[in-house]
Structure 1
Amino acid sequence: MHTLEPYFNWRHLYVASEDPQSPFFGYQNSEVHFTDQIYNFLIHPQWDNIDSETLFLKVIYVDYTDGFAVIELMGEWNDLLHNDIMTLKRGVIELMIEEGITKYILICENLLNFHADLDADDYYDEWQDELEDGWIAVLNLRDHVLVEMSKFGIDQYLVMGGTLNDISWRTRHPKQLFEKIDELVMKRLSI
């Protein structure tokens, strides 16, 4: 797992630690030292710690004009043991909503597991309610994670699956990715 690093080819366009509006403004990642781990596995030092034992992320692009963010996730989303949705919502998302971000693209190909908590729906519901005309789209979930999230009804808050599970996002400029996802999400929401 220490070789899985966040996507870096958009760094010339956006760096969260250099953005004064970002929750990660001033965040220092080590270039050489492995400081975080998931269970007994070291993870690449470029992932940002959100005070979860198992879930790490990287905000790889934000556009304040169009109000969207692209966030890459890594590890295990564990609402059951660690209430990761609360940690993510309170520590990252609420700060971004205050800055006008209402559309979220979550890149989840490095999300290895999901564990639901039946009482954690409040945070998903709250996040969705605070977006007004916004949305949360999840890209490239592993099949077993998609099944688990759907089984517990998380798909009523997050747009996921179908064509969103096979998006070649690295070949696009972030604004092109946003336009494509926005088009797909709006089609789904209008049905």
Structure 2
Amino acid sequence: MNRFLIVFILVVNCNTFDTKDNQINENVIRDELTTKAFESAFPEKPLQLVRPDVHHKRLVIVEENVKLLHRLVGPVATVAVVGKFHSGKSFLMNQLMGKSSGFGIGPDTRPKTMGIWMWGKPTQYTLDSGLKVWIIFLDTEGFAANNVSENYDAKIFAVSTLLSSHLLYNSVKIIDQSDIDYLEL
């Protein structure tokens, strides 16, 4: 039986919200879409938010998928996962969403995830205070992949950090100094 350790650090970004100061009227949080319209507007599949250019040097926004997020009414929390390639980021996100399949997982050495992907259908979660929050799950391209520069990895990390309310660093081993040094790019 293969066993591996998934280690992650939860980093709380300044994009999170304080529920005491942000008591929003229940009518504002209510999504204006009907259930049927919601289902068709937000597909139950991964959608690419940011993709690499043809040379894998720059990041390009996928406008069509970003526009879907404008339909959400109320607070949004974003959970993103970063880490080295083939460290189980997509698997971890599928587990957090309770899905047996979702974000692509591949057995070969070529990475499946390019750029930054979101799960198409947001999850609504009710906090203990009663505040309803939309949760968006983001899966990212792994660091240190073949034919990808450290500069490109730094861009993926920076954009993921800026987009997220909560950032998970995923590793298949104990986090050591080289992992921390790599993040200091």
Q: Does TM, scored on the shorter chain, surpass 0.5?
A: no
**Larger Rg: 1 or 2?**
2
Structure ranking higher in helix proportion: 1
TM-score by length of 1: 0.29
TM-score by length of 2: 0.30
Q: Which has the higher contact order (CA 8 A, sep 6+)?
A: 2
